[in-house]
Amino acid sequence: MDIFGRLTIESLPFYSLIAASGAGVTVLGALSVAAVITYFGAWRLVLFDWVSSLDHKKIGIMYVMVALVMLVRGFIDAAMMRSQQAIAFDSDGYLPPGHFDQIFSSHGTIMIFFMAMPFLAGLINLIMPQQIGARDVAFPFMNSISLWLTTAGAGLVLVSLVIGKFSTAGWTGYPPFSGTEYNPGVGVDYWLWAVLISGVGSTMSGINFLVTIIKCRAPGMYLLRMPLFTWTIFVTSILMIFAFPALTVACGMLALDRTIGMHFFTNAMGGNMMNYINLFWLWGHPEVYILILPAFGVFSELVATFSQKRLFGYISLVLATMAIGLLSFTVWLHHFFTMGSSANVNSFFGVMTTIISVPTGVKVFDWLLTMYRGRIIFKPPMLFTIAFLVTFVIGGISGVLLAVPPVDYLMHNSTFLIAHFHNMIIPGVLFGYLAGYMFWFPKAFGFKLDEKWGTRSFWCWTIGFYVAFMPLYVLGLMGMPRRMEHYDIAAWQPHLIIAAIGAFIILLGMICLGVQLVVSIRDRKQLLDLTGDPWNGRSLEWATSSPAAPYNFAILPQVQSIDAWWDMKQRGVAYQRPDRYVPLTLPKNSLIGAFIGGASFVFGFAMVWYIWWLAILCLAAIAIALIIRASDDDPDYVMPASTVQAIEDARFDQLAKAPRNEMEDEPGFAGQPVPEAST
Amino acid sequence: MRPPLAYRSHRVALAFGLVLLCSGCGALTSPDLDPSGPITLAERQLLFDAVSIMMIVVIPVFIMAALFTWYYRGTNRDARYTPNLAYYWPVEILVWGVPAAIIVWLGFHLWGGAHKLDPYKAIDKSVEPLQIEAVAQDWKWLFIYPDQRIAVVNELVFPSNTPLAIRITSDTVMNSFMIPALGGQIYAMAGMQTRLHLLSDKPGRFVGRNMQYSGRGFADQQFDAIATSKEEFDAWVAKAKASGSALDKDTYGELAKPSTKVPVTYYSDVEPNLFDSIIAKWREGDVTDPAPAVTPE
């Protein structure tokens, strides 16, 4: 047996210029990050303040950083596909099939698993505990493991660019194409282990968030006083806990097929690929609601805050969220209406799918009615919200169409489907996360993001989206399948060129996002958020300082109403200095979470290349690390009351210097919350 | 402070409209929207019906979004401002009730449509359909005409106004068989058969292909589907009969190997039950018809 398994010098990508430059960019990127850290002499800070941190806010920030890096990588893939298809009429373009296929596979995998999921987990980590008046998540150490497992998966996808190849089987990895018989290389294994390792992390995140919401709410924060964002996370966590095991099982069985020659999903020997497809979508459909429900939550917060009005139909929105969560487990078969199920089966799942549009429609109307008789302030997050409302409805129409089995027979596997789900995921999921990023950035770093560049980014994203994806609807009606490396139908090309232009406009949007970040860091002194409440907010995360103290709340808030923070401001009890402070118990930092992530990354790499001894070594190391952690009887430290007092005194000094509401300069500002005369 | 860009959005909206309009024109002549058979026609009708009924919800959303964004902008101090308006029960009934009513209407049409357009259902029981067996290979399509005892690669010829009863399987990874101008698609899977019933109501030349990504040669895995007159079809069968080479086990084994851009190839004779034996190969010989065709009542 070879000590390096399948790994040889030929695995390096010197066979193609494009592949080699992709590898070069990846390696240079990693080296330059290391160089920057060394230049600033920040290794100690990075390792002992961040990597080892169990503070939910820092973990959240690191999650979002992973997501933004992967967003860039996933977008490069998209741009390569769009440019290939724009020129590949009656020609091979610049990408050979083997390479094009890796690109669409990694684009989907990255955007779902390593962009959207970390972005989601990041926003939740950063905000949700503050929103319910908690000091941390329920299991801070498990939170760290989740982060580093997700990062390990993302790392495996990035490493596949440098050593070996990535999967060509698409982000769904349908067997038997993804089996060894048709796909003997390491590509599918990279995909499998990246998904498996990060999937375990996501399951743990779901458990963590759910327990946090159930057990850690501040006094008086009854379930029906929780902000909508927290409600959507509540449902999303339940979906994560129930759905992700299905993915882990499906991918685990496929890994057994591939690694030790089992026959769960093979063509011969009694295997059946339909079982994989069922299991995969049993996770896959709830997954899209896992992604979009928190975005709905973000929009709910934004639309109320920037309309300067209470959220309309709170109970309806909660019920709709619960209904969507429940229904999301009853529709997975619509991903394969064309697999030969009977008309009764297809009709049932089709009807269930269209039923989901009812609670979704209710949400859209309730958001619009929140704007009704409001005083709308057009900050970039609100612009994203308005674009979402309009654009998402178009995606909803195409979704209901695809839910009608006979229409689906025509549109399945076509670019109409691609247009549909990008129509849900870009304006729905991504706009929600980007809006949340701009909305909550001051809470993370203490200064706001530049509005001008945020607005520019918004216009580029919105226009770019329409230009890039409306042509794909048309191409779908013209019968163009997804995943075409080249084609010989002339009528398709103009639409593909328009779509490529759209991708270029989105590129401008990405650049604007980058510029926004740089400009905002440069001008941070002018953009400082001194009060911790930069938007005249409504929920409890705005009660903390920006950035929040390690313990969030020195004294736990007493919640008396929906929109708890707004209510406190209205009652005149906001920003009150307590009589005395108490010592607070907080988790110590620990490098063990990052170590487990690192070991999982090496384990995944070893499994991909069949380096068995290394895989066993990594598993043993993980087990030992967990035993060491479990034997630690003193994982917390106590912050003395004097330290708490010093931090809080500094905060109140800062507040004294900035007594005004930070939104007062807005022309549309409707006024402070003032005590009501009579209720 | 310059006014937010949202106040100047009408020009942008116009640009969107133009893009949409240009795209729409291209779609009108597409196979899905300009069908050549009753199946695609019926599927298209369902699409149009569903879009129309949904406009009841969609148009109000567009109007409300535009109107509220403009009228309730923060700087418009004339607009009424009710910061605590959070619930009004008639509105709640409306926002739940109207979408629900639409979905009930759509549900009935969906149920009926899915049963009427079940791909397993024969189109017209009174007419004897043309039997065709389609086999997906890497990366081409083999069509066997069991009654004519001929076979052809990458070309499907049939008389118009005669229903086609197609049995479909795969001798490789999962494929999806589709002729967009004539009807929807259905998967082809090894060791299993699926069925599709199609009908062309006028002669014509259509594109057919595999819709499910299947590897390196996927982009070229397409074929011509040609609807002819009865006489032309008979002449075409005679031409295939005269081609000389027969499709037996050995020739089939050669053909099934991965290849791309395979030219149209005719086989004058086909081994009996070749289609069933392709399925049986993956099932240790255990073949029962797992998917009987649904006949209309």
For each successive 10 residues of chain A (679 residues), what is the average pLDDT? 81 84 90 93 92 96 96 96 95 92 96 97 97 95 97 96 93 95 94 96 96 96 96 97 96 96 92 95 96 97 96 96 96 96 95 96 96 95 96 95 94 96 96 97 96 97 96 93 94 95 97 97 94 94 94 94 93 90 94 97 96 96 96 93 95 87 88 68
Q: Quote the DSSP letter at residue A637.
A: E
Question: CA-to-CA distance for A193 and A204, rounded, in angstroms?
Answer: 17
Mutate to test the interface with B, among A354, A418, A460, A488 (most CBs of B within 10 A): A354
- CB within 8 Å: B92 and A495: no
Contact A498 B187 (CB under 8 A): no
Report the C-alpha gap between A405 and A337 in whole angstroms. 6
Give the residue on B whose Cα is nearest the Cα of A412.
Answer: B185
Asked if A177 lies within 8 A of B218 by C-beta distance, the reply is no
Please check whether residue A516 is in contact with residue A450, taking contact to mean a CB–CB distance below 8 angstroms: yes
Residue B8 binned pLDDT confidence (cut-offs 50, 70, 90): very low
Confidence of residue B5 (pLDDT cuts 50, 70, 90): very low
Does a structural domain hold residue B109? yes
Q: Which of B59, B82, B116 lies at the terminal end of a domain, its last residue?
A: B116
Interface test with chain B among A404, A498, A512, by most B beta carbons within 10 Å: A404
What integer pLDDT is reported at residue B6 of this predicted model?
Answer: 45
Q: How many CB atoms lie within 10 A of CB B82?
A: 11
CB B200 within 8 A of CB B175: no
Q: Quick one: tokens of A536?
A: 């005249």
Supply the angle between the helices A415-424 and A451-477 in degrees, to the nearest 10.
150
Q: What percentage of chain A has pLDDT greater than the value 90?
A: 90
pLDDT at A497: 96
Residue type, position A390, single letter: V
Residue B57 within any structural domain of the chain: yes
Maximum CA extent, chain B = 87
Is ipTM over 0.85?
yes
> Does residue B94 share a domain with residue B176?
no
| Partners of residue B166 in chain A, C-beta under 8 Å | none
Task: Give yes or no: residues B197 and B262 share one domain.
Answer: yes
Cβ–Cβ of A347/B111 closer than 8 Å? yes
The pLDDT assigned to B1 comes to 41
Domain ranges for chain A: 42-590+635-657
CATH number at residue B231: 2.60.40.420
**Contacting residues of A for B82, CB less than 8 Å apart:** 309, 373
Range(s) of the domain holding residue B35: 5-116
> Does residue A490 sit at the B interface (CB-CB below 8 Å)?
no
Do B69 and B99 belong to one domain?
yes
Query: In which residue are the tokens 């040609």 written?
Result: B226
Q: Does the beta-carbon distance from A470 to B20 stay under 8 Å? A: yes
* CATH assignment of A42-590+635-657, among 1.10.3210.10, 1.10.510.10, 1.20.210.10, 2.60.120.200: 1.20.210.10
Closest CA to B282 of B215, B188, B167: B188
Does the beta carbon of A365 lie under 8 angstroms from any beta carbon of chain B? yes
User: From the CA of B165, how many Å to the nearest CA of chain A?
Assistant: 15
For residues A262 and B96, give the distance between their C-alpha atoms in angstroms, rounded to a whole number.
50
A-B CB pairs within 8 A amount to 319
Does the beta-carbon distance from B30 to A668 stay under 8 Å? no
Q: How many CB atoms lie within 10 A of CB B161?
A: 15
Specify whether B187 is located in the same domain as B53: no
DSSP state of B294: B
A-chain residues near B84 (CB < 8 A): 309-310
User: Considering its fold, how many domains does chain B have in total?
Assistant: 2
Instruction: Please indicate whether, in this complex, the C-beta atoms of A479 and B207 are within 8 angstroms of each other.
Output: yes
DSSP for B213-240 reads --STTGGG-EEEEEEE-HHHHHHHHHHH
Collect all residues of chain A within an 8 Å Cβ-Cβ radius of residue B215. Answer: 97, 101, 168, 177, 182
Residues B98 and B193 in one domain: no
Q: What is the mean pLDDT of residues B195-203?
A: 94
Category of A588 on φ-ψ map: left (φ > 0), alpha (ψ -120 to 50) or beta: beta
Clarify whether residues B110 and B244 are in a common domain: no
**Which of A479, A341, A350, A347 is CA-nearest to residue B119?**
A341
Distance CA A543, CA A670 (A): 20
Is B287 inside any structural domain? Answer: no
Both B106 and B137 in a single domain?
no
Give chain B positions within 8 Å (CB) of A350: 110-111, 114
| Shared-domain flag, residues B33 and B171 | no
pLDDT band at B2 (very low <50, low <70, confident <90, very high): very low
pTM: 0.94
Task: Answer with the residue of higher pLDDT: A540 or B33.
Answer: A540
Taking an 8 Å cut-off on Cβ atoms, the answer to whether B110 and A354 are in contact is yes
Among A165, A157, A189, smallest CA distance to A20 is for A165
Looking at this protein, which amino acid is placed at residue A23?
A
In tens, the pLDDT along B246-264 reads 999 899 999 999 999 999 9
B21 and B68 fall within a common domain: yes
pLDDT in tens, A95-154: 999 999 999 999 999 999 999 999 999 999 999 999 999 999 999 999 999 999 999 999
E strand or H helix at A421: helix A415-424
Residue B191 placed within a domain? yes
B188 touches chain A (CB under 8 A): no
Q: Are residues B89 and B181 in the same domain?
A: no
Chain B contact for A501, CB < 8 A? no
In this complex, is the C-beta atom of A659 within 8 Å of any C-beta atom belonging to chain B? no
Give the list of residues 6+ apart from residue A230 with CB closer than 8 angstroms, or none.
A128, A131, A132, A213, A297
- B 275-294 near A (Cβ less than 8 A): 281-282, 284, 291, 294
Does residue B98 sit in the same domain as residue B192?
A: no
Q: Does B126 touch chain A (CB under 8 A)?
A: no
What is the per-residue pLDDT for A277?
97
Distance CA A612, CA A618 (A): 10
* Mean pLDDT on B186-203: 94
Same domain, B64 and B199: no
Q: Does A427 touch chain B (CB under 8 A)?
A: no
Which of B68, B168, B198 would you mutate first to test chain A, the one with the most A CBs within 10 A?
A: B68
